[in-house]
Structure 1
Amino acid sequence: MESQISNIDIGIVISYFLIVLFIGLWISRRTKTGEDLFLGGRTFGWGIIGLSLFASNISGSTIVGLAGAAYTTGIVNSVYEWMSGLPLIIAALIFIPLYLRSRITTIPEFLQKRYDRRSQLFFSVVTIFSTIVIETAGALYAGGLVVQTFFPGFSIWETSLILAIVAGIYTAGGGLKAVVYTDAIQAIILIIGCGVISWILFGQLDYDWSKVVDSAPEGHFSVVRPLDDPGIPWPGLLMGVPLLGFWYWSTNQYIFQRVLGAKDMKQARWGVVFAGFLKIIPLFIMVFPGAMAISLYPDIANGDTVFPTLVTKVLPVGLVGLVLAGIISAIMSSVDSALNSSSTLLVIDFIKPKRPGITEKDIVKYGRIATLTFMVIAALWAPQIQNFTGLWDYLQQMFSIIVPPIAVIFLVGVFYPRGNGDGAFWTLVLGTLAGIILFVLEQLDLWHLHYTINVGLMALLSAIIFIVVSSRTPAPDMEAMKQYTFRPGLIREGFEDVPWYKNYLNQILVLVLTIFGILMWLW
């Protein structure tokens, strides 16, 4: 079967691959130390941070899934996008000053400083496993499916391998700096490409929003859904979505590593708030196009084919290549971030403590070997996902259930100085065990609550375990804990003498008003 796109479009995609590889290899020549490889030498400004956060979060499956869901079931899943600003605000207000003042390279390192090494290792292992087996392999598999739509002659294993090799080479060579600079380019391509589709579709509807709404089933544009809604019931919107968002945006090495590489506090906070504004964009360029397609192409049977259908039927030659490059950009951004973060965790949390005299040259060498090794593992596992569709769905659900104990030891821990190493460790162990039990009960059809509601309940249980165990075991050094727990003065740190328009607190106010304005609009 031949490709469904023109040679011009194919040329655009190939050019994109070559440019990304060139950037990665060029930066690799300037990557000399572990801090260069893992944190980009702590040189990132707010624009690069925000664009990289946006690009790393958007995968090929996100684009296809958002458009498909908007076409088939409604726009409720879009809350994970435009409501991301709220957990990003929490990160800016509370966790950025704590992390940057601690001079950490990995998020688990913060747990070692706040609690002990047991929590650090537990969290690091869970993060590496989930990042490679779920995030990286999942991105490669979903990306392979998307690319197959345009190039039917390629198999899943071929597309997964090509994507993994390209991302692995420039990530291993240039490290985080290569990741964030290519991410910035990828974010711009993605926004332009998807934005063009949205504008053309809206034009075909005479730029009349009422035509979009009238063609959709009742409730299609509501994000506050009833208790029995299979997507996100309203208790899950209140309980689960914020906690999942907090874990993802404030404690996930895969995402937060570029913030740790910021030049200073100002750049980090500006970058995170900028990302919060960028996360509103997918509602308009990925979600709404799926909804617009209802009236224009009412006979699409499979939601996953909605976005590829729009690309091939709406766009002229040249723009198809641009959008396909945008989709591949999204895939590559997820893969490169996952590979770099996992290699960082392995080297900093496991190898370096075992070899305290290790040289910077060796750190870079081990980091590059780890990146390429994880690349191979993810590429080999990705094609197997098609044989375990049911198991993959279960893994995703279980993944959301094991988040609560992690979220609790961070979020409760920074406000509860009495929380200690025993409390954190046993919260992770018992909270994760409780999550596994709940997962088993679901498979035995003995538990029927939506997973977003389960997240809230498990967080409550984990908080009780953390507080009870901490209160019944020896208190930590309260003086030392001041550096790793919240105090009001941290909120203004770095912004004492800036004009009002540069004050991130004023920017946060605008972001909050925008998010709640959208919530009221889509209620």
Structure 2
Amino acid sequence: METERLIIIFGIAVAYILVTTVVGMWSVKKTKDTESFMTAKNQMNVWIIGFLLMSEFIGSGATIGTAQGAYTKGMAVAWNCSTLAFGYLLYSWLLAPRMNKLGEYTISGALAKHYGEKIKKIVSIAMTIALTTVCVAVYTGGASAIAALLHIEISTAVYIIAVAATLNVAFGGLRGVGYANIIHTAFKFLGLLILCMTAWSVAHNNPDILAKIPSEQFSVFSPGVPASQILAWLIGNIGAVFSTQYVLQCVCSLPNAKAARKATLVAGIAIFPIGFMAAFVGVMSSGIFPGIPSVMAMPAYFDIMNPWLVGIVTASIIASTFVSILACQLGATALMVKDFFIPIMNPSEKNKIWITRIVSVLIGLIPVPFALGVPGMIKTFFFARALRSSITVLLLFMIFAPLMSSKKGGFVALVGSLIVTIAWMIMGNPFGIDNIYVAVVVPTVVILADYAIRKMRGTEENQEENQEKSQAENI
């Protein structure tokens, strides 16, 4: 009986990986040049792009990581994911139309229009590090879950993830990633819904279970998560949405500003319930399965579920893994190709697409050696988002206060904030101050200081000029 159960689960999981990989690769016919690979201009409608926009942020950390945190800290952990909705709503209102009109599909290229070419490579490197950090965390979390469910080695699961994701990106580009991620997103919602219904059903049939869970654990502002942490998640998520390369690529694939705004609204509304569904699963698990390691808060349900349902939920966990990896790989590929490989190699138009595919393969394989030594998933995700928050500050000054930010000030602000943020994280966030605050405050202070210095110099120069004019008139 146990063997039959494993065969059902394994079969559904393998079929899911094969089908979604083929769907992604099928778009190779539509990606005949670098532009179509990176933006798939006008090839997908607003609704598809809306779900595609949210896909980078609903990986393993948004499900397994959130359930793990909620097991001990309560429903408030949901905000680590659900605050992304506020990021998308703000993006829709403030940036989506402007970025669509900008006509630039890399975040580094967009910033270079104001801060100069000197800043482009720094932005590309910082963003690629951030995206690769996310990939490493997702490879690790996804591989651990898949290995446990399918009874295979973690290293084998890592290679399966790397190969399937890399083939999808290398062949399908944004269009392939888009259609594959529609399937992944649908299965993610389905898997979470099955888990929520299972948890509710078990608790309904065993009233004593709810009595084991402190009532404050169900509060969306439970004491296990301080307000400062929720604020840090909010700032980090807004920064991540505003500065993520993949989001910009999606927005640029739409025909006009109105469509860009609508797609980001769809993304915000769709992503909001995910954190709370995963957190509910984790909180209920603390009553149903007391005493287990928190990382098992979600997988623990599989022992009491029908194998066909476990197969679907396993597919949803696989979806959680791929949905983020595909987005991160595509974003990092766009940055490396446009800002490094094409300027250095200066290839013909015909060869650009092959260089793009080769780079996407390299980007997909780089995280593999690092995928077994990562700290807590949520912590790793938010360090990556802290790096991107510094870029967001520069972007907001460029859009809304261009006169306050100079080329030199922007460059110093970005380099300084990256150095200080990384150092702050390595020191373990001294004084209880999260590195996300450092990533926002440092570039803001530098840009404002640069503006003040330039204003003072300008005032002094004007005074000297007026004195010279006065002296000339007296003569």
TM-score under structure 1 length normalisation: 0.80
2:234 matches 1:242: yes
Q: 1:160 to 1:101 in 2, by over 3 A?
A: same
Alignment partner, residue 186 of structure 2 = 188
Number of residue pairs aligned between Structure 1 and Structure 2: 454
In the alignment, which residue of structure 1 is the partner of 2:84?
A: 84
Is 1:222–2:203 an aligned residue pair?
Answer: no
Give the distance between the partners of 2:420 and 2:122, measured in 1 at CA.
16
Matched, 1:306 2:297: yes
Cα distance change, pair 5–378 in 1 and its aligned pair in 2 (3 A):
farther
2:461 corresponds in structure 1 to none
**Aligned partners of 2:241 and 2:209: how far apart in 1?**
32
Aligned to 1:367: 356
Structure 1 residue 9 displacement after superposition: 2.4
Matched position secondary structure for 2:104: coil
Match of 2:199 in 1: 201
Equivalent AA in structure 2 for residue 90 of structure 1: L
Distance 1:187 1:399, change over 3 A: closer
Report how far residue 4 of structure 1 moved: 9.2
Residue 322 (structure 1) aligned with residue 308 (structure 2): no
Which residue does 1:505 correspond to in 2?
Answer: none
Partner of 1:263: 255
Unaligned runs of 5+ in 2: 457-475
- TM-superposition CA deviations, 1:292-339 (whole Å, max 9, x none): 22332224x2011121111332x2121111111111011111111111
Distance in 1 between residues matched to 2:261 and 2:400, nearest whole Å: 20
| SS of match in other structure, 1:43 | coil
Matches within 5 A, 1:91-490: 91-132=91-132, 134-152=133-151, 154-206=152-204, 214-224=211-221, 231=225, 233-238=226-231, 240-299=232-291, 301-313=292-304, 315-354=305-344, 358-383=347-372, 385=373, 389=375, 398-399=383-384, 401-418=386-403, 419-439=405-425, 441-442=427-428, 447-451=430-434, 454-456=435-437, 458-473=439-454
Q: CA deviation at 1:340?
A: 1.3
Distance 1:188 1:397, change over 3 A: closer
Give the secondary-structure state (helix, strand or coil) at the position aligned to 2:400: coil
Offset at 1:266? Answer: 2.6
Corresponding residue for 2:68?
68
Aligned to 1:6: 6
- Tell me if the contact between 2:82 and 2:276 (Cα under 8 Å) persists in the aligned partners: no
Q: What's the CA shift for 1:470?
A: 3.6
What is the alpha-carbon root mean square deviation over aligned residues? Answer: 2.7
Identity between Structure 1 and Structure 2 (%): 21
User: What residue number does 1:484 align with?
Assistant: none
1:332 is matched by which residue type in structure 2?
Answer: F
What secondary structure is seen at the aligned counterpart in 1 of 2:399? Answer: coil
Provide the rounded CA distance (Å) in 2 between the counterparts of 1:48 and 1:292.
33
Specify the alignment match of 1:36 in structure 2. 36
More displaced stretch, 162-171 vs 22-31: 22-31
Letter in 2 for 1:312: D
Amino acid at match of 1:364: I
Q: 1:472 to 1:243 in 2, by over 3 A?
A: same
User: In the alignment, residue 168 of structure 2 is paired with which amino acid?
Assistant: Y
Who is 1:518 aligned against? none
Distance 1:328 1:394, change over 3 A: closer
Residue 460 of structure 1 and its aligned partner are, at CA, apart by: 2.9
1:439–1:317 Cα change, 3 Å:
closer
TM-superposed CA distance for 1:397, in Å, is 6.6
- Bigger fraction of residues in helix: 2
Bigger mean CA offset, 175-184 vs 461-470: 461-470
Report how far residue 269 of structure 1 moved: 1.6
Residues 212 and 291 in structure 1, CA contact (< 8 A), matched pair in contact too: no
Deviation digits for residues 145-180 of structure 1, max 9, x if unmatched?
Answer: 00121123x222211111110111121011111001
In 2, the alpha carbon distance for the partners of 1:284 and 1:162 equals: 30
Task: Give the whole-Å Cα distance in 1 for the aligned partners of 2:380 and 2:196.
Answer: 33
Structure 1 residues 118 and 457 mapped into 2: Cα distance closer, same or farther (>3 Å)? same
1:327–1:3 distance in 2 versus 1, CA, 3 Å: farther
TM-score, normalised to structure 2, is: 0.88
Contact 1:137 1:378 in 2 (8 A): yes
Q: Structure 2 counterpart of 1:362, which letter?
A: N
Q: Per-residue deviation at 1:130?
A: 2.2
Evaluate the alpha carbon distance shift between residue 41 and residue 353 of structure 1 in structure 2; reply closer, same or farther with a 3 A threshold. same
Deviations 1:464-523 (A, max 9, x none): 211221443599xxxxxxxxxxxxxxxxxxxxxxxxxxxxxxxxxxxxxxxxxxxxxxxx
Measured at CA, do residues 85 and 25 of structure 1 come closer, stay the same or move farther in structure 2, by a change above 3 Å? closer
Classify 1:198/1:269 alpha carbon distance in 2 versus 1 (closer, same or farther; 3 Å).
same
Counterpart for residue 473 of structure 2: none
CA distance in 2: counterparts of 1:434 and 1:26, whole angstroms: 44
* Uncovered stretches (5+) of structure 1, i.e. residues with no partner: 476-523
**Gap change, CA 1:296 and 1:261, over 3 Å in 2:** same
Residues 73-98 of structure 1, C-alpha deviation per residue, up to 9 Å, x if partnerless?
A: 21222112222221111211121122
2 CA distance for matches of 1:401 and 1:19? 35
Q: Is the 8 A contact 2:169 2:326 kept in 1?
A: yes
